[in-house]
Structure 1
Amino acid sequence: MARNATAQKTIYALRREIARIEGVLPERLAAPGEEDPVLRRGVSAMRGAAAGAFLETGAAGLDNALAGGVPRGALTEIHAPAARDAGAAAGFALALSSLLRKEGRRPEKRRAVCWIGTADLVREAGFPYAPGLKRVFGLPAHDLLFCAAGKLADALWIAEEASRLDDFAAVVLEIRGNPARLDLTATRRLNRRAQERGRPVFLVRAASFAEPTAAPVRFHVSSAPAVPRSTLSGALEDSIGHPAFTVAIGKSPTSLPGEFVLEWNPDVLAFYEIRPAYSRALVPAPAHRPHLPAAGGTVVALRRADAAPAPGDQPSREERPAHPGPRRAG
């Protein structure tokens, strides 16, 4: 019995250490005679965690797939499949940051946002447009600290130092491609800094492919068609509504995949899940119905094989075979 108790205590200690390194969100399992809980993965574990551990996006489907929302104290990857989707990925990260700032009802409690980008990305995409940030995300210019780092090493250092400060609601690090320096060790350091302060770090990666990182959650974000503006008399045709994003879950602690179309309402600073106009409800195929016939082609008159050829259809002497019967030797 003593040996089993020792082995069980060792297993609990290993689980605790693995959970600390990976930064998974908890289901509380107390080891025998211990007060410190053990963290474990799982959907039930995520749903049983404290409500303050997640940032709810407001889209029920996405929040349910993540078992509560986006983790606060963790590194979250936001991938843009192509370079043209870099703006959508950055906008999604700013929308999540706006949700964090919205929780501070009074202006003095609304903390700033630190946005870090590399110099090559800034030269291609440009600097943030202050009036647009204020109008769309409710982020005034004096609450945004934008840093254009000359090298990736400098950008990573700034992100680590900014994540330690309590003056920021979130840290957004925007990087292009798949640089070798942004490896598992670098992302583990960023994830650890986010865990220590309970503040998210959003890693926006433009024109990159997914690779192993320490981020517990990864999104693939691209732009979606905007829904026409609605009026009292119905939808206003040929109009452009609020920004929309196609968000696919590439990685999460619950391991539940999903793809959602979210609309960002800048008036109330909230997400809403919408259904694309081209989507339709699926109807099951009938079980006793034959398949549809294939499309018909050109009708051609064919002669029966047993019918005698017409006089005019006889082949000429030149067209007849030279040896219609078996050849004789000798």
Structure 2
Amino acid sequence: MQKPHILVPIVATQNGTPVHPAYFLLVGIPGLEPSIHFWLGFPLRFMYALATLGNLAIILIIRVERHLHEPMYLFLAMLSTVDLVLSSVTMPKMASLFLTGIQEIEFNVCLAQMFFIHALSAMESAILLAMAFDRFVAICHPLHHASVLTGPTVAKIGLAALARGFLFFSPLPFILKRLSYCRTHTVTHSFCLHQDIMKLSCTDTTVNVVYGLFIILSVMGVDSLFIGFSYVLILRAVLELSSRGAALKAFNTCISHLCAVLVFYVPLIGLSLVHRLGGPTSLLHVVMANVYLLLPPVVNPIVYGAKTKEIRSRVLHMFSQDGR
């Protein structure tokens, strides 16, 4: 059963140094009975198992099948790797919270989880942008695709996505540590987010607000604009094709990526808006945050497995061999 929200004992500090709690308290879904929270833990475990198996399957299939060592599939393997780590950072703790009612998460562990959530989200955004660029070159400049997106170029893009995620979001734990927390130490989600922890501080959070807004706009904001611009060019090129069948075939290669973009960006934009324009944290905030973190790792393998012929046939082949 979930414990009532209580004040957490404060770690003793010297004069003039920030006051940090020993731990924060996570919450489930506001307004639900503890018994309902308990039963929600089982679907969470199932979602985690589904996300783990699905993303691992995609990574292993792309690694084993050498004919899949093309830019689109290599970017997909990167996306699955990020989703796999992201689900491992969030879902086990959430399932434990719902099943056991243990709300405590140590202060430094909370900051570490917060950093990985935001950094991995930035990496996913960068990979989605790279996949949009891959589709743009493949459809608009097919003759130059092999020369533009070479193996080393794909590797450099992956490293750049990794470096950007860590560099932009590594300051977050440090600017949160400079704050003092003397209010209630109950965060309003089942995991730790920067804006959620920041609101618990009783000191000036101007630096956190400005930097948080800066990285959201300069990372996810810029990525989403370039993805949108890429699809404007793709759509224009597709409409200029003389054959309707060729146009549908060309655009059909973008469907899986479009689904991944919508699953990632729609909850992200909605969550950012309700956090900055809304009032006190409500059920809407919590539900949108859960959708933003839990949906992509589960949905992406299903969408790509269903829409990508090579991956689908490989999975069916594996199951047919097991059945013999």
Normalization by structure 2: what TM-score?
Answer: 0.22
Larger radius of gyration: 1
Higher strand share: 1
